[in-house]
Amino acid sequence: MPQLPYGFKDLEPYISEQQLTIHYQKHHQAYVNGANNILQKLDKARKENAELDVKSTLKELSFNIGGHVLHSLFWGNLAPAGKSGGGKPSGALGDALEKEFGNFDRFKKEFTLTATSVEGSGWAALTWCRQTGRPIIMQIEKHNTNVYPMFRILMVLDVFEHAYYIDYRNDRVKFVEAFWSIVNWDEVNERLKEILK
């Protein structure tokens, strides 16, 4: 589990202490535990030369690893409002979004629609295509479906109900609106700089 870069109360009122605590300690931890259990199962089967259902085992492993990786990115691209959170991106990221989408508001609209239209559970992600040098939005179902291979993820928004059900009940749209007040653009910019090195 990654260490949170802020306290459990620090994202209020956009994400409550209770919501963040349960999301991090219960849901994210479950993906870490799930992945570790599957890796142990694989090790045991190999050691004992035992049969296993490779298709379902690897699918489950993909789901749990995806859940861990995406949550780890998610915690990092959040910050308390008014400190590092919210506003608009600047620097290389701001320039790239301006060039690709025409303006920040257009990017925000497309990303919001991506997040609110996920069927069931999933994620909205801002990615970077190194081949074309373009930021591209990705809609991920669950943790591992519709992922663009080799695209680096800059920013994610978790739209599983477990991310917002305590604070927003079933109102995903309100949760997505709140997200824009706690986006850590400095962290997202740092992720882009690492890619562009």
The reply to whether 98 and 32 lie within a common domain is no
pTM, 2 dp: 0.94
Query: Is residue 5 situated within a structural domain?
Result: no
Q: What pLDDT, on a 0 to 100 scale, did the predictor assign at position 159?
A: 98
CA distance 124 to 175: 13
The reply to whether 70 and 96 lie within a common domain is no
The continuous run of DSSP H or E covering 171 comes out as none
Query: Is residue 98 situated within a structural domain?
Result: yes
Give CA 168 to chain center in angstroms. 18
CA distance 5 to 174: 24
Number of domains the chain is built from = 2
Q: Show the low-confidence residues of the chain (pLDDT under 50).
A: none
The reply to whether 188 and 119 lie within a common domain is yes
CA distance 69 to 82: 27
Q: What pLDDT, on a 0 to 100 scale, did the predictor assign at position 155?
A: 98
Q: What pLDDT, on a 0 to 100 scale, did the predictor assign at position 29?
A: 98
Spatial CB neighbours of 44, under 8 Å, sequence gap ≥ 6:
50
CA distance 120 to 131: 31
Give the residue numbers spanning the domain of 61.
Answer: 17-76
Measure the CA angle with vertex 179, ends 178 and 180; round to 5°. Answer: 90
